[in-house]
A and B are shown apart, each in its own frame.
Chain A
Amino acid sequence: MINRRSLLAAAAASPIAFRAMAQSGAGGKTLTYGQSTAPLTLDPSHGSFSGYPAGYEAALCLYDRVLDFDAKMNIVPGIAESWTIAGDLMSATLKIRAGVKFHDGTACDADAVKFNLERLIDKQRTTTNRPLWDALATADVTDAHTVTIRLKTPFSQLPNSLAHGSAAMVSPAAVAKYGETGIAQNPIGAGPFRMVKFSPGQELLVEAFPDYWGGKPRTDQITFRYIAEAATRVSALRTGAVDVIDNVPVPLVAPLKSDPKIAVIAVPGLRPIGCVINLSRDKLKDVRVRQALNLAIPVETIAEKVFLGFARAPDSPLAFNTQGYHSVAKLKHDPAEAKALLAAAGFGPANKLSLTFNVPVGLFPNDVSVGEIVANALQQAGLDIQINKIEGAAYWETLRQDQANLKWDIAMFGFNPSNASGLYHLNSLFKSNADDAGKPDVWNVGRYRNAEVDALLTKANETAARAQQDALLGQAQDIIWKDAPYIWLQINENISAVRETVKDVEVWPIVFTNMRRAAG
């Protein structure tokens, strides 16, 4: 494991190191990025760009947002050169920088920003990511370069929302020209690259936008190419057919590292993977049963052996570097205690607990393998498990169903707080749904309901001071952990690989591989 540790150390420093090395990048090159998923549409307001995370990664190049993240997930200026939040968290002022142009030549000024914010606020258009935008009431233009946002309730997370990938600014003229649905294939943004050719599900070609406010990007052209099979991706990187790949499977890291022409970038992720428990099922309502499920899984072994150390067992519902993370307790692996708890809850050899387990294919790292390991571990603890393997692209739909249509008892799931905010994460997964019988509000697909947690989250939303907010979130995490609404599994590192001549490809902890500042 020594190799891996030194790699991690190098990786932690690498985005900075690469950037420091790189100012000389001459540009004038084409970079090809072999993606493990493919963007299917490029309209930011449609929530997840269908094709996740590929859509976001493309959007990071095509669009600019009001605010941005740097490689360490700090919020930095974007189209807004500065911003101020009122003390009562009920309004915010954005100063839009001058000279920002969209790809079609129109100006990205306060009016354009207002237009876009209203689009995002509109519930009818953005059907997912609601926790990011629900608190916003209006966006008004105070002068040519100032926008004032007013909120319905105090919302401490506003900067995170504005930096989120879906808050991309689209040209109002383009929306008028192509129509609401046309934007998906004709993305006119203000980002450093503009679209040349888009074959959904296959390839996206973008070229440098010379009038970009931040200066011409260091690469002339980027090709996003969809390569579903990991082995093929890796092979393509080695032969130089592509310059960057994402989602490198753990067993292939070693051979890649030993290749002097290739650099592997591994960054601890913010996406905890687990099995969401369907709390509407009577047999799973007893907390002892859920605790037993957790005790049965050898999480440390999975992290060490299956992921070769490129993953860690979680000790909180949030991942380690998420804003607001609080360490709750280490997971125990004790099959004997698991059996005892199950027996206390009324399950045993005579009355076996039988569970249907939905597992996606190709969505999360080693999902099928981990799924089989989990099933086996639960079977060792005396349960009956039936695995339902579901194609990646069709998987989300099986999760987000009306309560009556849920066909699973446990299902593998991992949420990526793509604005790095722990509050956003907890809100999305653990805030009670308005109506458990219908579709979940966001991703509380297991129908978790705890009034204390709800109160804590609401209060955290309204608290400006970080320290106090974090304290509230910490309490929420303690309660959620004890309730065990998930079988907690692992937090993976995001592993991408580049040819060593390529500089400044940022691998963000939120799974995205960011190409916008890369140079060949």
Chain B
Amino acid sequence: MPERRSNRFLWIGATLLCGFVFLAVLGPEIAPEDADRQDLLALLQPPGADHWFGTDPIGRDILSRIIVGTRVTLTVALVPVALAGLLGVLLGLLAGYFGGLVDRLLMALVDLLLTIPSLVLAIAMVAAVGANLTGLTAAITLASTPPLARLVRGRVRELREEDFVAAAISVGMRQRRVLWRHVLPNAFSLIVIQLSLMAGQAVLVASALGFLGLGVQPPAPEWGSMLGASREYIEVAPHVVFASGGAIALLVFAFNMLGDGLRDWLDPNQT
């Protein structure tokens, strides 16, 4: 029974994400209209035959903007996740394997960052670096790295005690090789699960920043910014709000499903 349920999550998440990746790659080709095309005579049109999701406050087709915006939203969220993945794994490996002073210093820094709520940290970073792609990437990377570093460190410490590692060392294998060939592969499942869940978090943080007006520059169709820009029209034209909000929720849902499914499949002993 557990086997079947986890496969269902995995299947749903993976399919949805494939769909999103498809949209991200082929966005501009399959979108019914140019995402930047403004039809000033058709502002705030409700969903209809011409525009399936309606038009936004300056007459752009919302469906097209959502589709093309997949690329922007995914980039803003996933590049930092990839960076955080690299950084977090590196830090966790070093701290967990070598222990001692290295471990304490690195973990002190990580714990310090963990005391700052991630959105607040991201906002502070954006305040410092600026509301542009660099700032956003730095902000979300900084907010995502510490939890992963901690988890990887914990796992590596466990693995360090395992027999096969001791065996490898006794045979004279170099540290770097031990890390690469024995420790890392066994931490792999944990890392992959975490990255999926982190991706969902990152989408929420990125779209929150966009909603608050701290996101990428217009006219980029990032979903959070679209939602923020359409706020004041919620009364007269609620359709503008639902499309972007729903897209964000669906993407986060997909990542969560993927992460949960992977967790049930790869590491069923975790709570």
Quick one: which of B40, B131, B233, B237 contacts A373, CB cutoff 8 A? B40
A459 to chain B, nearest CB (A): 42
A387 and B40 form a contact (CB under 8 A):
no
A251 and B40 form a contact (CB under 8 A):
no
- B23-38 contacts to A, CB under 8 A, are 36, 38
B217 and A306 form a contact (CB under 8 A):
no
Given the interface contacts A369-B57, A391-B213, does A305 sit within 8 Å of B40 by beta carbon? Answer: yes
Please report A residues at the B interface, Cβ cutoff 8 Å: 229-231, 234, 249, 251-252, 254-255, 298, 301-302, 305-306, 359, 361, 366, 368-369, 371-373, 375-376, 386-389, 391
Please report B residues at the A interface, Cβ cutoff 8 Å: 36, 38, 40-41, 43-44, 57-58, 131, 213, 217-219, 229, 231-237
Given the interface contacts A368-B218, A369-B58, A389-B217, does A301 sit within 8 Å of B232 by beta carbon? Answer: no
- In chain B, what residue has the closest Cβ to A231? B232
A373 and B213 form a contact (CB under 8 A):
no
B43 and A387 form a contact (CB under 8 A):
no
Quick one: which of A252, A254, A368 contacts B229, CB cutoff 8 A? A368
Given the interface contacts A229-B231, A301-B41, does A371 sit within 8 Å of B218 by beta carbon? Answer: yes
B41 and A387 form a contact (CB under 8 A):
no
Q: How far is the CA of A396 from the CA of B233 in the complex (A)?
A: 27
B80 to chain A, nearest CB (A): 21
A376 and B38 form a contact (CB under 8 A):
yes
19 A-B pairs with CB atoms under 8 Å apart are A229-B231, A231-B231, A231-B234, A231-B235, A234-B235, A251-B44, A251-B236, A252-B235, A255-B236, A305-B41, A359-B218, A366-B57, A369-B57, A369-B229, A387-B217, A387-B218, A389-B131, A389-B217, A389-B218
Quick one: which of B38, B131, B232 contacts A372, CB cutoff 8 A? B38
Q: How far is the CA of A388 from the CA of B41 in the complex (A)?
A: 26
Residues of B close to A371: CB separation below 8 A: 218
Q: How far is the CA of A231 from the CA of B229 in the complex (A)?
A: 12
B232 and A373 form a contact (CB under 8 A):
no
B219 and A376 form a contact (CB under 8 A):
yes
A298 to chain B, nearest CB (A): 7
Residues of A close to B233: CB separation below 8 A: 251
- In chain A, what residue has the closest Cβ to B39? A305
Q: How far is the CA of A231 from the CA of B213 in the complex (A)?
A: 16
Residues of B close to A372: CB separation below 8 A: 38, 58, 218-219
Residues of B close to A373: CB separation below 8 A: 38, 40, 58
- In chain A, what residue has the closest Cβ to B231? A231
Residues of B close to A252: CB separation below 8 A: 232, 235-236
Residues of A close to B234: CB separation below 8 A: 231
Q: How far is the CA of A371 from the CA of B38 in the complex (A)?
A: 12
A230 and B232 form a contact (CB under 8 A):
yes
B35 to chain A, nearest CB (A): 11
Central interface residue in B44, B131, B229, B235, by most chain A CB within 10 Å: B235
Residues of B close to A368: CB separation below 8 A: 218, 229
Quick one: which of A231, A306, A366, A389 contacts B40, CB cutoff 8 A? A306
